[in-house]
Structures are given as structure tokens and as C-alpha cells.
Amino acid sequence: MKSARFWGVVISATLAANPVLAKENFRCESSAVARMKALLAVVQQAAIQEDFKAAEKTIVDLETAWIVAEPDLRAVDEVRWKKADIAVSNAVASLQRARPERDSSLKAVLTLRNAVVSFCGD
């Protein structure tokens, strides 16, 4: 069985090697989605660097942008939207802990990134 530290390194490497939503051909190219992509990139980088204060501040900004864009985004794909919405909530919860755990925070950010890629990409 792999150690938690090993998986933290793997997740960090995955996040660092795969810039947020580097794929082309998105189904959602609105300015709100562009803002969320930029915020997610900042959250990723802050989590990798273990700057949890910056990650928390930015994930709250991302959550706010997600909520504001909900009516438009939900109409794109209800099922994928729900998965991404859960991932946003989980990432916020992980990063808002009094003492965020590096590995669980990285996993939550990776899950969020993957959910947004799934939502926006085809």
C-alpha cells in the first residue's frame, strides 16, 4: 500500500503537469467560466505550494462565481453540472478547515479540476 505522502506527491505532480483545462473545444466559453478557470488555476498552485490561506480565499471566490453562473451553466448539462457543483462544495470544505490537510486538499482540488474539465470538455 502506498503512503499518503506518495499520493500527495502524485496528485501535486498531476496538478502541476496538467494546467487547468488546457484542452480546446469547450462547451462553455463564457466570461464567467473563463474567470472560474483562472481562479481554479490559482487554487491549484496555492494548494501545491501549501499556501492554504491563498487557496481558501480563491476557492471562495470561485464558489461565488460558480453560484452566480449557475443558471447558465446548469442548462449546459444538468448531470455534469451537479458533479462539478459537489466538487466545488467539497473543495471549499477541504480548504476552509482550521488546518487543511495537504493530501486531502490536493485531492479535492484535483477532483474539482477533473469535474470542471468533464463539464466543459467533450
Neighbour count for residue 42 (Cβ, 10 Å): 18
How many domains are contained in the chain? 1
Q: Which domain holds residue 79?
A: 28-120
Assess if residue 43 is contained within a domain: yes
The pLDDT assigned to 23 comes to: 39
What pLDDT score does 34 carry? Answer: 82
In angstroms, the CA 39 to CA 66 distance is 11
* Model pLDDT, residue 3: 62
Q: Hey, what's the torsion of the CAs at 116, 88, 73, 12, to 10 degrees?
A: -20
Question: What pLDDT is recorded for position 15?
Answer: 56
Q: Is residue 39 part of a domain?
A: yes
Can you give the pTM of this predicted structure?
A: 0.76
Domain membership of residue 9 (yes or no) is: no
Q: What is the mean pLDDT of each run of 10 residues along the chain (122 residues)?
A: 59 56 52 85 92 95 92 86 94 93 91 87 62
Q: Is residue 19 part of a domain?
A: no
**DSSP alpha helix (H) spans, 49-101:** 52-76, 78-95
